[in-house]
Every structure is written in C-alpha cells, then in structure tokens.
Structure 1
Amino acid sequence: MKILITGAAGFIGYHLSKKLFSQDDCELIVGIDNLNDYYDINLKIDRKSQLEKNAKFIFYKLDLLDKDGLKGLFDQYNFDIVINLAAQAGVRYSIMQPQKYIDSNINGFLNLLECCKDFPIKHLIYASSSSVYGGNKKVPFSVNDSVDHPVSLYASTKKANELMAHTYSNLYSIPTTGLRFFTVYGPWGRPDMAYFSFTKNILEGLPIDIFNGGKMERDFTYIDDIVSGISRLIDKAPEKNENWDEVTSPRSESWAPYRILNIGNNNPVKLKDFIHAIEKSTGKRAKCIDKPMQMGDVKKTYADISELEKLIDFKPKTNIDYGIEKFVSWFKEYYGKE
C-alpha cells in the first residue's frame, strides 16, 4: 500500500506513521504538513526528523489549501489509502481565530476530497472529534446520537467534515470513515492540551488553572490505543448498503460507502483525578487556581465504542496512571526537566 498521511508532523500523524512502518503491506508513507506555528514548531520538526530516518517515509511541506501541490502528489504516487489528520485544532482557539478553521478544516478538506475523487483510492480515513456531541447530556456518546448542537466553531467544522465526506461517498463512491477522537494524550503530544501545560507548570512549581472546580470529565485515550485502532481500520473500508434506511438503520452509516466511529477509552476520568496522576508521576503537588467554565467547553465526554468493538474488536489497554507516567517520562527527557 501507498499511504498519504496529512498532518504527519502532528501528534497522531507521527505515532501512526511509526506504527505503520512495521506493517509488511505498507510500501510507502507520504507525509505532508504545513508546519504552522499554532504551537512550538520545533516539536513538529523533531517529530518529522524522527520519521525521516525510516526509508518508507517521504515528507513534503504542503498545505491542504495548495490545490495544485496536492493534486501533483496524488498524480505522482497513486495512493491506495488517505488518512487525513491535518486540521486547525483547539476548541478555545476557534473562538479567537474562526477564519483559520474555515480555511484549514473546511476548504482544505474539500481539496482533499476533490483529489480522492479525481484519483480514486481504496479508503479515506479522516479525523472528526468528540466535540461534535456539543451540549449533549446523554452519556456515553453514541455515533447514533444527534450532533446538531455544537458549542464551538471547531466542533462545527468537524461535523461539516462528516457531511462533506458523506456527499462525496454518495456522489463518487469514495469509501470514507470518520473517527471521532476523544482527548488523545501521550508522549510527543500537543503543547496546547491541558495535560501538557499541567505537567510543565507542576514541574516548574507554577500554578495551573482549574476550570469548573476540576469536576469536568474527559475520556482520555492513550496514543498507542488510538493508532492501533486506526491501523486496523485501514483494510475495513465501508461498502455500499442498498438496504440502509433512515428509520431502522444506524445513522452513523449510509447507503453510500460511509461510516462514523467513536474511538476513545470508554472510561471518563475527572479532571482532578487526572491532575493527581500527574502529581504522582512528577512527585510534586499542583498549585491550583480555580476558574469558571470557558466558552466552548463541555462538562463531560464519554465514548460509546461498541461499533468499533464489533468491527475490529477494539479494546483500549492503557490506564491513566500508566499513560501519564509514560508522558511525564518523555516530557522530562525531551525538555531536560526534573
């Protein structure tokens, strides 16, 4: 297989590429990334440098908005699989910089879909997000629940991606799988995520901001579990189902070759317990500053992963204590912290 991974210098893209290197049926991974400065670009460059040590990997600095550059890659490599992990991330940042989300997450994704139409592929897997569940109070979140009440522009763009993918699956028979990720964490993670800044500040003796009294819950999912799931989905492309109907069939599927899946830990953790795990791993106490809920935030995320279990027998293996210990160990080594 020849595989295109967008956002390859990002957190999930980096780990997924490393995972796929070990698979015999993976002939080549072409990774693209625009290396933007949303967070420390040096971290992205270091991830890229690690990947370029493997002969199966080729990197191009390329933005999804570059239509001609993207089409040139598809024409040159004749990809079998496309995995889209490139996006402008961050719920809170989407409130401050909405245009960046339309450019990257909507227009960029459209360019990718057009390439998949013009250069047919076997399977497009793309990143959606648990944020699409918005203000939903029923838990755990099921892929068959309504996602009509987003609370951030980021969430809206991810729902839009699912709708766009369905359109192209329907019109052009492109097999698409959208993955709703639930709070992914681990080594080489994103500095804009709370666990990253919590660890940094706790190690440096600086205070951390705790929103909503630490009562919020997140379905924290370790990176190894995430990439294991993605890699096993590659050859599970959805197929057309002429018997599908909107009354009795799962709303996460379609008559088109289209599918939506949750990929999470199925075990939400209170924020205060998550902080306690960081304290244990660092051997230092956190200095907490209470803050109210922020715009665009939700109180709880909780993944129903039953559909993923049925499809690939997906069972997350990593508990929060082990996952945080691995992250803190990496953080200390990478940044020279004690």
Structure 2
Amino acid sequence: MTHRRDFFKTTLAVSSLLGIAGTASAASSSKPIVVSTWDFGVAANQAAWEVIKTGGHALDAVEAGARIPEVDMKNHSVGRAGYPDRDGHVSLDASIMDERWRCGAVAALEHIAHPISVARRVMEKTPHVLLVGAGALQFAIEQGFQPEELLTPESEAAWKDWLKEARYAPVANSEMSTYGHAPGSVVPGDVHNHDTLGILALDAQGRLSGACTTSGMAWKLRGRVGDSPIIGAGLYVDGEIGAATSTGVGEEVIRNAGSFLVVELMRQGRTPQQACEEAVMRIVKRRPEAVKTLQVGFLALNTKGDVGAFAIQKGFVYAQCDAAKTDLVVPAKSVFG
C-alpha cells in the first residue's frame, strides 16, 4: 500500500515536472513580441525590443519601454509632461507585473519622473503591491529617485486656459494619436485629455510581463486614481495564459476588473481578440446610457505571441514590434465604427 506521505511527494514531483515541461513548451512555441497602446507606443516598443532581441527578460523590456513616454515632453497624458489636476498638480500612476504574478504599483505620485521604475521597486523591495501619495514619494526618495517639478510651462499654460471655463469633459481617444483628426490640427484643451501607455512583452524564453503608466485624466479631482495602477484593472499578467492592459476611462475598467477579465477569458479558451471583444461588450451591456461617448479599449497578448485588441469607439490603435517589424501601428476593431 502506498503511504500517504509518499503519495503527496510523488504528486508534488509530478506537478513540478509538468510545470517545467509546460514552461519549456511555452518557450519553444512562443515568438518574442512587444505590443503597446497608441501610436506613441512605437518608441516604447523599440526601447523594449532592444532588451528582448539580446535575450533579456520581458520585465526589463516593459520597464525600459514605459520609461520612454514618461519623459516625452510632447506627451501630455503620460509622465512628466502630463496635464495636471484641476488644482495644478501633476500626479502619476503606474504598475508593473511579471509572469510569476509579482507586481508593484504607485498612485498619485508627485515630483518623480519615472513612476514605472518606482513601481518596480515597490514590487522588488517591499512586501506591498501599491504605495500612494506622500508615502509613495517618500519611498521613491529613499530609493534614490530625485524629486523635481513636473508641471511644465506648456502644461501650466493649458491648465490656466482650462480654468477660464473649468469644464470637465473627457472624450474618447488620445491627444497623441494622429488617427481621428488631421495632422497639425488644433485640439481644444478639454478634448482628448486622457490616456495611457500600456505595454506587454513576451521574450525568447516565453516569459510575459506588462507595464502601465499614465498621468491620468487632465483636470481630474486631486487624488483621483484611475485603472492604470490597479492590478487586475489596468494591467494583469498570468505567465501560464497571457497578459492584458487597458486604455480609456479608468473608472469603467475598474468597475469590471477589465484586464483580469480579459486574461481569465483567455484561460477559458478565448483568443486574445475574442477575450478583448467580450470584455468590451460586457461594459457596453452594463453602461448603455454612456457608451456612445465613452471609450475603453483592451490590448491582450497570449503565451504564443497572438495579439488582440478591441475598443468601444473607433480611433484606438496599438503599436506592435517583433523580429519582422519594429514600428507597426494597427487600428483596433471597435463596437461603434
């Protein structure tokens, strides 16, 4: 008769071997790839690909990629050039997650240009997942990050112009996207005032990671936090299945645990495209009174390197980089349009 303890030892050994075999299988069948939200994700992808193409870890790749728009002075929806809240404060949110379900995030972080790197320190140096506000700033300084003024003259001017009417009216899609309005056209201060860089990577060893970074909605209430730093909302990674990130109105993504939902749908057998579509349609069904002006989009990547993207409104695009091409911009399918 097999002893109970021996049975458990055998079971654990078999499970371990199956896990190793599964990882090896995923690595052998996967194709290295980086995808990110919006056309400004092209530059982020290129930085991430520099890590991937030399055999680096997907986690290092997504951090490197996310750091690019964080210091892009033309990007007013991510990083140090982001538009402020209605009181004139620039606050940043970010999250990062790897294939082993390790994750870290910061929210309402002021005076630090690279929130994504602070989020990674939270993951690696603390027992916590999320640090916010003054505590996040204190931690960042203790970790050697240098505080600086993030409100740029251009952002300050836009904020003062907004104060003339103080009308809060976010609409669909990103100010940075060239899709949806003519190149060089003037975009009013209260239009296209929010968005996010979400970046997902699969490396040559079959490891998945993701990162998400934003300055949040322009002219928001001070202290408002969207989906980007919320694990399971703006970002979720499951090394066995796939990864997902979101863009658009964060409150709607949080209400539906959006990125987690996309990954779980992939676990149930949906392709990344099917999973994104089903997650978006769930929001549409629950908020029929708002969806004609509301934008939410999802971007997903599975362990084979298959990609999916879907949004409520037309205009959402994503950037893709692999061994064949480093600057592909793909319009996502949508419910309306």
TM-score (norm: length of structure 1)? 0.27
Higher strand share: 2
Given the two structures, how large is their TM-score scaled by the length of structure 2? 0.27
User: Which protein, 1 or 2, shows the higher relative CO under an 8 Å CA cutoff with sep ≥ 6?
Assistant: 2
